[in-house]
Structure 1
């Protein structure tokens, strides 16, 4: 049932993107991004090359409209996607991809501290030097996205908590800004993220039976 719901969400998202996209490049970027998230939830290695197509497309989209901060963010995603592709294919034994691990306490504390510092610094810069309407929320979402992508690249279960937080906050932010189609798309992302969390956690419990693997 969980897999069918995520597949229905994928189809709904593709239909929404096709209906609302203003250019072919925008449609390709959004659809490949959505497919990449769906494949990631299914622990499929093709999530990475598909995601790289999306990242490259968004890089050119943001460059064309002079959204240089968002363009720079794609560089982080590109590097982490290549890194994730390599990591997922390492230490996998006879499996198709690397087994899911849990985050170590020290790593979680370090990322939590970095999240606060980076959000405050980035949010302050946006507030002082740009006309951003929600600078600190925007910064928090961006920093959390990078951290969630890092954990995803490491095949760490807790990455989905980061993506769920990003999706929930993005839904609210885009609805507040009147971008209803984008908000609906993030509802679909949220459903897939929840599906990914449940699927990865089930796989982890099956393999480790309560044991922990630090990251």
Structure 2
């Protein structure tokens, strides 16, 4: 069983395997801190995503690399956004997305998908079914990351959907550690949604 799961790594450089494991660990830490509504979601996420940008570039997975490059930018923005205060009170606490913000997330979803399609077409990367699924997950994760940076509870719904799709996607690509990471991401995202919902209800009451 273990041979089947990790056979893909037989010809991988040890350095890249170690980097992937480090990226997975910091990625899990980041999602855990997001669940706890803790600002450390962003520094831990930055470490994970920057490592993945490098690895995905090495592995020629352009769509995934674009997603993680975007995560780097949005993590910096989210870090700033979450720390903003007025008279020592958090300016942007957990909340539901407004109609305008939902429209923006739909716009981000569609435009990011179009962008990845253009990139994949230009580099002739539509050679496998995984490339087509990449365009979908890119749109989902782009919108989800934007909503998380805005501290909107709907971000968890998009993470759950995207994580579930990514589990078999990364396994088929040959990255078992990352696939396992997305299984754990899915579980934490469900609990994250429930915890943010409780925080929101307590505040409204």
Determine the structure 1 residue equivalent to 2:194: 198
Determine the structure 1 residue equivalent to 2:100: 106
- Residue deviations 1:18-46, cap 9 Å, x none? xx895221211111111111111011111
- Residue deviations 1:172-210, cap 9 Å, x none? 43455676654433221111000100000100111123x
5+ residue gaps, structure 1, are 1-19, 210-215
Contact preservation (8 Å) 1:175, 1:183: yes
Determine the structure 1 residue equivalent to 2:83: 89
**Is residue 185 from structure 1 mapped to residue 186 from structure 2 by the alignment?**
no
Q: How does 1:121-200 map to 2 (within 5 A)?
A: 122-123=116-117, 126=120, 129-130=124-125, 131-174=127-170, 182-200=178-196
Contact preservation (8 Å) 1:36, 1:48: yes
Q: Cα RMSD between the aligned structures?
A: 3.0
Q: 1:97 to 1:197 in 2, by over 3 A?
A: farther
* Residues 180-189 or 49-58, more deviating: 180-189
5+ residue gaps, structure 2, are 1-8
**Counterparts of 2:52 and 2:156, CA distance in 1:** 22
Q: How does 1:16-35 map to 2 (within 5 A)?
A: 22=14, 23-35=17-29
Q: 1:49 to 1:176 in 2, by over 3 A?
A: closer
Q: 1:174 to 1:53 in 2, by over 3 A?
A: closer
**Counterparts of 1:117 and 1:52, CA distance in 2:** 24
Determine the structure 2 residue equivalent to 1:8: none
**TM-score normalised according to structure 2 size:** 0.79
Q: 1:33 to 1:96 in 2, by over 3 A?
A: farther
Contact preservation (8 Å) 2:81, 2:149: yes
Q: 1:178 to 1:81 in 2, by over 3 A?
A: closer
> Matched residue pairs, number?
192
**Counterparts of 2:131 and 2:45, CA distance in 1:** 27
Q: 1:121 to 1:65 in 2, by over 3 A?
A: closer
**Counterparts of 2:91 and 2:101, CA distance in 1:** 23
**Is residue 38 from structure 1 mapped to residue 32 from structure 2 by the alignment?**
yes
